[in-house]
Amino acid sequence: MSNIDTHTLVTQQARSRRAPAGLGQNLFAWGALLNPLGLIAVVVGILLWQLVSAVSGNYYFPTASQVAVDLGDMIVDGTLANALGITLGKALLGVLIGGVAGLLIGRLMVVSRYVADGLGPLVNAVYPIPRLALYPLLVVAFGAGGEATILLVSIEAFFPILYSTQVGAGSLSQRYRWLMGNTGASYLRREGIAMRAITPYLVAGLRNAVPTALIVVVTTELLLGSSGAGFLARDAGNQFLPARSLAVVFALGVVGVLLNIVMRLFYRRTQRWNLSLQA
Amino acid sequence: MRFPVRKILSPIVALFVLLGLWQASSLIWTFPAYFYTPTEIGSAWVASLDANMWQATWDTLFRAGVGFLIGTILALPIGAITARLRRVENTVEPYIGFFYALPKISLLPVLVVWLGYTDTARITMIAISVFFPVYVYMNAGVKGINPDYLKVASNLGAGRWTTFRDVLVPAAAPMAMAGLRVGLAISLIVTFATEVVGQSPNGLGRIIQDGFIAVAYSEMYAGIIMFALIGLAIDLALRLLTRNSRTLWGEAELA
Amino acid sequence: MSPSTDSIHDPHSAVGLRVTDVTRTFHRGGVDVQALKPVSLDVMKGELLTIVGPSGCGKSTLLQIMGGFDTATTGTVSTPRGSVTGPSRTIGMVFQRATLFPWWNIERNVAWALRCGGVNRRAALDRARELLDLVGLSGFETAYPNELSGGMQQRAALARTLSLEPDVLLMDEPFGALDAQTRELMQEELLRIQQVAGTTIVFVTHDIREAVFLGDRVVALSGSPGEIALELAPGLARPHTHDVMRSKEFLDAYEAVWACIQTGGRRGPVVAASSAAAGSTVGTP
């Protein structure tokens, strides 16, 4: 049986920096725009922004149209695509590394009581430490290229995926293992079943890890970066181009929303493999 | 309340083992200059504990605390209101959804352009970052209240204020607490980021950054350890505070 | 028995609650779903009326309407105080799941109900303890709901609702989530409590045996949408225990209800409430 009790799961989920997968990430469903009140609110908001900023004439308060123009420029000359590509690349690579590590260790922890007792409390103890504070040190160690960022993202992604994997592997309860022993399934077949059982939980963990990764990458680019979307925003700020900076913000928001949508679709499709949803 | 010996002892033991290995391996390999052993880290931290350090710690905590409070004070009532009033929620949802998905730290350069490298800008950034997760948790918490509780309250003739105080608040509290914990963690991290990017004249972020620029590793480690300690202390405090309510307020749906 | 013609507001009236031609139609996804066909019945003061029917026949809906938690599409519900338009302290509801507030112990839960009625703190606690004693929970007053078993939670919930001293007590399958032994115990306890408190009770269940055991009168709803298919009085002597389930009266009543629900319902006359009358209730349709 799983050695992860429900209470621990809830605590771990609650401790992750983002809402439990599905909470806030369902906010921007298509329904948010398709409902008339929401649509009106957005249109009114943009118009109001345009009005107030145009009237105030303050340079530091760019109008919506200025932001749109700057956004358009950045799209056309490829700066935006380039920057977003760099940012997303680092984020996804970090999630991949941290995810694989979390998956392996998570499964190990469910299989072996010793590993669970040894590593578990250690992981829990390290978790509350603000990991971003490590970033300058990582840069000292690995240089100002993307490596330090990717490493940091890996560490960040590790935790939610570790916890999700533990629960997922734990869902493959004793009864299922007896069943597989009973049918004399080969190692490969058993692995197939195990991975299918774990996948829904893994995806739930990813729903957590991916947005967090994006945030971490943008933050590191803001801190000490020289490329990527975070750098772009800071650079625009340094040059006193608030419209351009806001344009980057907008683009990042859109990226964030799209990521959420993709992850949610992914999540829905894998839920049918969720063992615990059966009677 | 039984003292959970095993739960507290295990991580301590595991930690000692890890630190021991780390320290021991320095005898085998030579570490690069920036890679300290546990003893070096420890002494660097201890050596740093002057008035300046404590002041910096306080500055960071102050910023994080104020930003957290502002964000929370706004998020809790708004989260509760949108959970109860469908129309308000529908109106606000596109904005909240967009900003929730946005890496809000990207707003910092613009905030700095508007407000300068001031504490106002930094604290505003922190408050914004804290607002959204707390909002989401509160919203979910109020929405998730068992509707039968409200039926019972209306059956018993409880007035609106009584229902709010005695039913809604306790019922939503567990989720709200979870949101607060997330918010606290975020406030620390964002404080660090704003101190560095926002060129704060003081605070732990400043200390770490100075250490980074001056290639003074001891300084960096000292700052990092302080941050780690703060994070752990806050987490521990929260866990102790919410210990009792967790066992009681878990759904008693046995009947 | 068709609703008597005497006015419910007549002080000498024996009617505690009157349901008149109530229907309920839900609008689900653009389609109208009728849950209840016109239902009329009178609940007499002091009686324990059970409503029994299969899942989906609308019995819970009917109960919710009786308590003012739901509004009928057509028809009315009234008590001697007037018509029922919303939840109030005069009609108490006990839900299937105890829904005690988990953040207070049970005596505070019960006391809170009293305080909502304006009772001061000290008196509320005293009365709460009396009621908990009535339902057999003395000694457990300071326990929290999630420290108690299902049966005990339901007792506490009952104590809370009794504290309202309501005109009518509505119970929505309150023993449904309990195990068989606890359920039998609770049924006997309910009879005992009702003897003492004299409350008018409307008890909804899907369990025919429970309905016949408890009810002074049994109303069977059948069909979906639901309508009254049968009313009968099992005529079991009070007080009784589960031994009575082997008696002829019980078995006959059970058979009648079962057959009625089985065949989708036939209206029949009410059997006289005497222990001698054991005939079948299948009258002329």
Q: Does C124 touch chain B (CB under 8 A)?
A: no
Residues A34 and A157 in one domain: no
Q: The complex's ipTM?
A: 0.84
The whole-number pLDDT of residue A60 equals 81
Q: Which domain holds residue A48?
A: 25-59
Q: Check whether residue A185 and residue A52 sit in a common domain.
A: no
* CATH number assigned to the domain covering C1-90+168-285: 3.40.50.300
Domain ranges within chain B, ordered by starting residue: 49-245
Residues B205, A276: Cα–Cα separation, whole Å: 44
Q: How far is C162 from chain B (nearest CA, A)?
A: 11
Q: Is residue A278 pLDDT above 70, yes or no?
A: no
State whether A46 and A116 are in the same domain: no
Q: What share of chain B has pLDDT > 70, as a percent?
A: 91
Instruction: Answer yes or no: is A18 within a domain.
Output: no
Question: Is residue A44 domain-shared with residue A149, that is, in the same domain?
Answer: no
Do residue A34 and residue A72 come from a single domain?
Answer: no
Question: Tens of pLDDT along A150-197?
Answer: 999 999 999 999 999 988 887 776 777 777 778 877 888 878 888 888
Judge whether residue C133 has pLDDT over 80.
yes
Contacts of B among chains (3+ CB pairs under 8 A): A, C
CA–CA distance, A148 with B31 (Å, rounded to integer): 18
User: What's the average model confidence in pLDDT over A91-120?
Assistant: 88
The reported pLDDT for the residue numbered A13 is 45
In this structure, the answer to whether residues A134 and A197 fall within a common structural domain is yes
The percentage of chain B sitting over the pLDDT mark of 90, rounded to a whole number, equals: 35
**Residue-level pLDDT at B2:** 57
Assigned CATH topology for domain B49-245: MetI-like fold (1.10.3720)
Subunit contact B181:A215, Cβ cutoff 8 A:
no
Residues on chain B touching A256 (C-beta within 8 angstroms): 101-103
Same domain, A48 and A186: no
Nearest to C144 among B151, B166, B248 (CB): B248
Q: Where are the domains of chain C?
A: 1-90+168-285, 100-165
> What is the mean pLDDT of the segment spanning B3-23?
74
| pLDDT per position as a tens digit, C37-81 | 889 999 999 999 999 988 878 888 999 999 999 999 999 999 988
- Tell me the C-alpha distance between A215 and A94, whole Å: 12
A37 and A66 share one domain: no
| Residue A179: per-residue pLDDT | 79
| Sheet of strand C200-205, all strands in order from the earlier edge strand to the far edge | C91-94, C168-172, C200-205, C48-52, C217-222, C227-232
Please determine, for residue B219, whether its predicted confidence score (pLDDT) is greater than 70: yes
Residue in A214, A223, A237 closest to B193 by CB: A223
Hey, which residues does C83 pair with through a beta bridge?
C78
Q: Which of these three, A37, A59, A81, is where a domain ends? A: A59
Is residue A20 in some structural domain? Answer: no
Residue of A199, A201, A208 lying closest to A167 (CA atoms)? A201
Q: Closest by alpha carbon to B203, among B214, B216, B190?
A: B190
Check CB contact of B250 with chain C, cutoff 8 Å: yes
pLDDT at A33: 62
- pLDDT confidence of residue A32: 59
pLDDT of res. A161: 93
User: What average pLDDT does chain C have?
Assistant: 84
Interface test with A, best of B8, B68, B102 (most A CBs within 10 A): B102
Number of domains in chain A: 2
Helical segments of chain B, H only? 5-28, 38-48, 51-84, 86-101, 108-115, 119-143, 147-155, 160-163, 169-197, 204-213, 217-249
Measured in whole angstroms, how far is the alpha carbon of residue C168 from the centre of its chain?
Answer: 9
The beta-carbon neighbor of A130 closest among B32, B97, B227 is: B227
pLDDT of residue A8: 44
- Global pTM? 0.81
Per-residue pLDDT tens over the stretch C240-275 = 888 888 888 899 899 988 888 877 654 444 443 333
Q: Closest Cα to residue C202, out of C171, C181, C173? A: C171
Residues A136 and A32 in one domain: no
The reply to whether residue B155 touches residue C93, judged by beta carbons under 8 angstroms, is: yes
- Tell me the torsion sign for CA atoms A27, A29, A35, A41: positive
Q: Assess if residue A5 is contained within a domain.
A: no
Domain boundary among A59, A81, A110: A59
